[in-house]
Chains A and B, each alone.
Chain A
Amino acid sequence: NAGVTQTPKFQVLKTGQSMTLQCAQDMNHEYMSWYRQDPGMGLRLIHYSVGAGITDQGEVPNGYNVSRSTTEDFPLRLLSAAPSQTSVYFCASTGGGGYNEQFFGPGTRLTVL
Chain B
Amino acid sequence: RKEVEQDPGPFNVPEGATVAFNCTYSNSASQSFFWYRQDCRKEPKLLMSVYSSGNEDGRFTAQLNRASQYISLLIRDSKLSDSATYLCVVILKTGANNLFFGTGTRLTVIP
Contact = CB atoms under 8 A, between A and B. Distances in A.
Nearest to B104: A42
Contacts, number: 56
Given A90-B43, A104-B43, A104-B45, A41 B103 contact: yes
Interface residues of A, number: 25
Interface string B10-54: 000000000000000000000110100000001111100100000
A53 interface: no
Contacts of B102: 42
A31 B96 contact: yes
A105 B43 contact: yes
Contact of A45 (B43, B91, B96): B96
B10 to A, nearest CB: 13
B103 A42 contact: yes
18 contacts: A31-B95, A31-B96, A33-B96, A40-B8, A40-B103, A42-B102, A45-B96, A48-B97, A50-B96, A56-B97, A58-B97, A98-B91, A98-B94, A98-B96, A99-B31, A99-B91, A101-B34, A104-B44
